[in-house]
Amino acid sequence: FETTQCKVMAAVCTKMPPWWLQRSISLKYSSVRLASSLSPTSDNQRGPFRGRRRREDNGNHAPSRRPLVPRSAKMAEDQDWPSVWPTAASFKPSAVPLPLRMGFPLNRGVQPDKHGNNELRKIPNFLHLTPPAVRRHCAVLRQFCTDWPVALATDAACEAHFPLEVVTTDYVHSGPSLRHPDARIVTIKVKLSQLELDDHARKKLIKLVGDRYDKETDVLTITADRCPHRKQNYDYTRYLLTVLYLESWNTEPWEAGITPADRDEFLFEGSASEQNVVSTIKAIQEAEKGVSDTTQEDVLQNANVQQYREAVVTQKNEGESSEHVQGYKDSVKRLLGLN
C-alpha cells in the first residue's frame, strides 16, 4: 500500500501517471472517498451493488430525480408525535426525525445509518407507544376499570370471604391455530380448614384425595384437564369437590372393619397393649390377694394405667425419642410399683 501511495503522490506531482497505474489510482481514490463519507444518504457498503460506482459520479448527466425533502425536515420539536405515528408501523427513515444507526460497521467504517437499513425495518419499534400516547390511551381506558374492594385488601380477608381459588391460563401466541390445548386446564385450590369437617370426615377426605393434599400448607389442589373446554373442566372440579366433601361425611358399613395396621394413629382402646395392661394388673392382684375382683373399667380408670396409656400413645404416634422412652419407663415402673 505504501509503494502505491508513493506512486500516487508521484503521479499527482508529475503530469501523467503510467497507463498501468491510471485505472488503479482512480478506483482507489473513489473507494477511499466512499469509506470516509458521512453523508446522510446511504453509502454503498451493503446491498447487491456494494462497492460499485454510484450514478452521481458521472457528472455529465443530470440526476434522474430531484432529491426529495424528507418529512423529518418539516417537523418541529414540539409537534404532536402520536399524530405522526398513531399505530404500529414499520420504520420509515424519512418520517422519524432521529439520527439512528444500526448494524455492524464493515470495513472499519461506521454503523450504517437509517436510510435503507433492513435491520431497523425488521425489528419491532415502539414509536406508537411513547409515554404521551400511552397516557392518552389509558385516560380513555380508565372508564372501563373498576376498583378492588377495600374490604379485601389483605390475603387473610380474601381467604375468609372467598376460600376457593380457581387457576386458569390464557395463551397469546402465533401458530396455525388460535386455540392453545393447555388453555382448557383448570385447577382448584382450597384450604381444608375452611371446610366444615369432623375428625372422621377429615381423615377420610385426606385418604380419598391422596397426593392432592399438601400437609404443610393444608391446601387441597384438584386439577381437571379431561374435558376439551375450560368451562367443562371447571364444572368437573366443582363436582369433584362437592362429591369428595359429601362422601367424607358418609360412613360406609365396611369402614367399621378397619384394622389397626390401616389406622393413621395408634388407638389404645381395643389394642393388644390395653389387653396386656389389664391382664398384668389382674395377675398382680391375683398373686397378692388371691382373687381379682376389679372390673376392666376400674383397672383402666387407675391413674397409673392412664399414665401408661399416655406414654404408649405418644411413643407410637410421635415416634421414639429419649424423652418418650424415659416417660414410658417411668410409667411402667410406677405401674408395677418398682419406684
Partner 1 sequence: DPKMAALAGGMAVRVTALVAGRSIAQKVAYGINRTVENRFRYFLKQAAPTTAVFQPALRYSSSTSKLVETTDEPDVLYKKLVLLCKGHEEAVLDSYEQFVTMAAKELQLNLEKIHRPHRVYDRITLLKSVHIHKKARVQYEIRTHFRVFHFKHLTGSTANVFLEYVQRNLPEGVAMEVKKTAVEKLPDELKPPGTQSESAPAEASQ
Please tell me the total number of residues recorded for the chain in this structure.
339
Nearer to partner 1, 80 or 288 (CB): 80
Residue 259 in contact with partner 1, rule: CB under 8 A:
no
Residue 77 makes CB contacts below 8 A (sequence gap 6+) with none
Residue 315 makes CB contacts below 8 A (sequence gap 6+) with 324, 325, 327, 328
Rounded to whole angstroms, how far apart are CA atoms 155 and 174? Answer: 36
Of the candidate residues 28, 30, 223, 245, the single one contacting partner 1 (CB under 8 A): 245
Residue 266 in contact with partner 1, rule: CB under 8 A:
no
Rounded to whole angstroms, how far apart are CA atoms 178 and 104? Answer: 38
CA 337-338-339 angle, 5° bins: 100
Of the candidate residues 60, 61, 66, 77, the single one contacting partner 1 (CB under 8 A): 77
Nearer to partner 1, 190 or 224 (CB): 190
CB of 161 vs partner 1, minimal distance in Å: 8
Of the candidate residues 61, 142, 179, 289, the single one contacting partner 1 (CB under 8 A): 142
CA distances from 209 to 159, 247, 325 (A): 22, 12, 35
Binding piece for partner 1, criterion CB under 8 A, among 14-22, 53-61, 151-159, 265-273:
151-159
Binding mask 46-75 for partner 1 (x = CB under 8 A): -----------------------x--xxxx
Residue at grid coordinates 389406622: 263
Of the candidate residues 22, 27, 54, 86, the single one contacting partner 1 (CB under 8 A): 86
Of the candidate residues 5, 217, 250, 279, the single one contacting partner 1 (CB under 8 A): 250
Residue 84: CB atoms within 10 A of its CB come to 16
Of the candidate residues 12, 13, 38, 140, the single one contacting partner 1 (CB under 8 A): 140
CB 121 within 8 A of CB 91: yes
CB of 130 vs partner 1, minimal distance in Å: 9
Binding piece for partner 1, criterion CB under 8 A, among 6-14, 78-86, 211-219, 261-269:
78-86
Residue 205 makes CB contacts below 8 A (sequence gap 6+) with 192, 197, 213, 220, 244, 245, 248
- 254-270 b/e (C-beta count within 10 Å ≥ 16 → b): eeeeeeeeeeeeeeeee
Nearer to partner 1, 39 or 322 (CB): 39
Helix crossing, 303-318 with 272-289: angle to 10°? 150
Of the candidate residues 143, 259, 322, 339, the single one contacting partner 1 (CB under 8 A): 143
Of the candidate residues 76, 178, 256, 291, the single one contacting partner 1 (CB under 8 A): 76
Side-chain-side CA neighbours of 269 within 13 Å: the count stands at 2
Of the candidate residues 111, 168, 275, 301, the single one contacting partner 1 (CB under 8 A): 168
CB of 107 vs partner 1, minimal distance in Å: 26
Residues making contact with partner 1 (CB under 8 A): 69, 72-80, 82-83, 86, 88, 97, 99, 123-124, 126, 128-129, 131, 134-149, 152-153, 155, 158, 161-174, 190, 194-196, 198, 201, 238, 241-242, 245-247, 249-250
